[in-house]
Amino acid sequence: MMNNKKIILCISLFFLLTPIINVKAFTHIDYINNGNYAFFLFDLGAGNSTEIRVNHNEDGNFTLFLFDKRPTESYVKEDKTLNNRIFSNVNKSSLIDNPYINFTALDTKVYYIEVILVGGGPDSYNLTCTEVLTRYYLPIIPGYPIEIILIFSGTVIGILILMFKKKRVK
């Protein structure tokens, strides 16, 4: 009788410590103005699927874009409208009232999501995805071209070598 109670206690503790359901999902809530955007990234294995959905709370006109390459610009013009070049660089897009994308990856790689409020704002939105997303920010400071860095570095190293050679000769 005592052994049965110990076995039941051990089994009960095992079920309490072991998660029964393992659900991966992500929800992000944000408030943005017209022309503002937000980027997110996630990795997805070949053959795996994900669902991405944006729901707005008021009258905002949100768009949803999925990229398979790292975006370097937002594709939002200064007048807060979309630049049409986005459609040649995007993998999938959704421009409907509550944007929705169901995507199956062909390759294992990092994918990028952009949510843009193109009108009717300011408004808040709920972004939900079946994958865990990480917020991604576009670089504000542009990098220097590698050629300039190499030329500058080579010049500085050359000058330093000449200076040390002159000191050794004296």
40-53 pLDDT tens trace: 999 999 999 999 99
158 domain residue, yes or no: no
Beta bridge partners of 53: 100, 128
The predicted model scores a pTM of 0.69
Length of the chain (residues): 170
Count structural domains, the chain. 1
**Order of strands, edge to edge, in the sheet holding 26-32?**
26-32, 123-129, 49-56, 100-104
Q: Does residue 155 belong to any structural domain of this protein?
A: no
For residue 152, being part of any structural domain is answered with: no
pLDDT of residue 87: 92
pLDDT one-digit tens code per residue, 127-166: 999 999 999 888 766 666 778 888 888 898 988 888 888 7
CATH number at 128 reads: 2.60.120.380
Tell me the residue range of the domain where 89 lies: 24-142
CA distance 67 to 41: 9
